[in-house]
Amino acid sequence: MFSILKPLPTDPILGLMAAYRQDTNPNKIDLGVGVYKDELGNTPVLKAVKKAEAFRLENETSKSYIGLAGDLGFCSKIEQQLLGEHRALLANRVRTAQAPGGTGALRVAAEFIVRCNPNATVWVTTPTWANHISLFEAAGLTVKEYPYYDYENKGLLFDEMVETLKQVPKGDIVLLHACCHNPSGMDLNLEQWEIVADIAADVGFTPLVDIAYQGFGTGLDDDAAGLRLLADKVDELIICSSCSKNFGLYRERIGACSIISDTSAVADIANSVLLSVVRSIYSMPPAHGAAIVDTILGSNELTALWHEELAEMRDRINGLRSLIVDALNTETDQDFSFIKHQHGMFSFLGINKEQIERLQKEFGIYIVGSSRVNVAGISKANIDYFSKAVAEVLK
């Protein structure tokens, strides 16, 4: 049976990781992999996480399964973090299942959509996180794209986006990035979120909000403002969230899939289907990451510490954006000011594939083929080397 298989290409980002590890250039810089890094290039374990893990180690009493929905304390606290005091929560219209990472949450959402409407099309931004398309297609869903990023002007194609969304058939799914758009860094403002929410209500498509970077843009509440506006306007909403970035829990694979329905009774029915999906994929989620988040958000002291650490990461990223703009604008004759107007870890440099290849071969600077860079991979120690290398390949 295995002999009929054909080799598949390596994921481009995973291939970059391997090439970077093998590179002997002492000045090499990894700007491809989407993980937060500190000034020393490390992805640290947060102090709040360390304290929560110590508490768990001392107080855990069982290794039994935690149930299909996962850690219920975690699920409740994540709902509150996403929605605040939203009336959907007060009306008991929200149901959440813990999932193995944001990716797991998206796959659960995809299978849930198939159960609701196997003929639904999922609409994603052009561009979007590369794995979005494969996740939905693997579940048997059709994927189409709607205009989003303006490569030429380094902004949003919002008018084109609006016109396309107005034509989306009722019953289809529209995926929206809540904040820190991956891979462009360009986000909708509140006025634009209002327009999109009104279109969703009028047209009848179901929004699916991917919120993987809450707190990395401008703040926990600000980054969820668009999501909450949507929840104000539509009766049904799917939310896929992740704790990988804002809690630094990448390898613990902790995320959640939340469903908002128009009534509590419908939410119960939707939840039964959601948990059936979970059962058919991985049965029970892992416990450790959820317990850490539940412990942190259940403690005033640890929550305050986490907020402080999250602000440090966010401020570092925003500071790096200004640093990159100043350095590139000094070394080149191009204007990179657009980078300062974006949010989160990612941005397109807007250079071509030949220039990207030169950066890798000649300078050991690793960037995804689309020219997406992980801003957090830059530091005060390597910014001069990076900006001079970019200037060289732009000549």
pLDDT tens-digit series, residues 255-295: 999 999 999 999 999 999 999 999 999 999 999 999 999 99
The percentage of the chain sitting over the pLDDT mark of 70, rounded to a whole number, equals 100
Q: Which amino acid is at 331?
A: E
Residue 12 has pLDDT above 90, yes or no: no
Tell me how far apart the alpha carbons of residues 197 and 72 are, in angstroms, rounded to a whole number.
Answer: 29
Asked if the structure places residue 5 within a domain, the reply is no
Domain check: are 269 and 306 in the same one? no
Please report the pLDDT score of residue 143 as a whole number.
98
CATH code at position 318: 3.90.1150.10
Asked if the structure places residue 53 within a domain, the reply is no
For residue 345, give both structure tokens.
Answer: 């870890």
pLDDT, one tens digit per residue, over 96-154 is 999 999 999 999 999 999 999 999 999 999 999 989 999 999 999 999 999 999 999 99
CATH code at position 292: 3.40.640.10
Q: From the CB of residue 242, how many other CB atoms can be counted at a distance below 10 Å?
A: 25
Catalytically active residues are 129, 210, 245
Domain check: are 199 and 253 in the same one? yes
Tell me how far apart the alpha carbons of residues 75 and 274 are, in angstroms, rounded to a whole number.
Answer: 14
Tell me how far apart the alpha carbons of residues 348 and 355 are, in angstroms, rounded to a whole number.
Answer: 13
Domain check: are 186 and 309 in the same one? no
For residue 193, give both structure tokens.
Answer: 């979120």
Domain count, the chain: 2
Asked if the structure places residue 52 within a domain, the reply is no
Please report the pLDDT score of residue 9 as a whole number.
83
Residue 13 has pLDDT above 90, yes or no: no
pTM of the model: 0.96
Please report the pLDDT score of residue 15 as a whole number.
82
300-331 helix and 288-297 helix, angle to the nearest 10 degrees:
100
pLDDT, one tens digit per residue, over 318-369 is 999 999 999 999 999 999 999 999 999 999 999 999 999 999 999 999 999 9
Of 298, 315, 331, the residue that ends a domain is 298
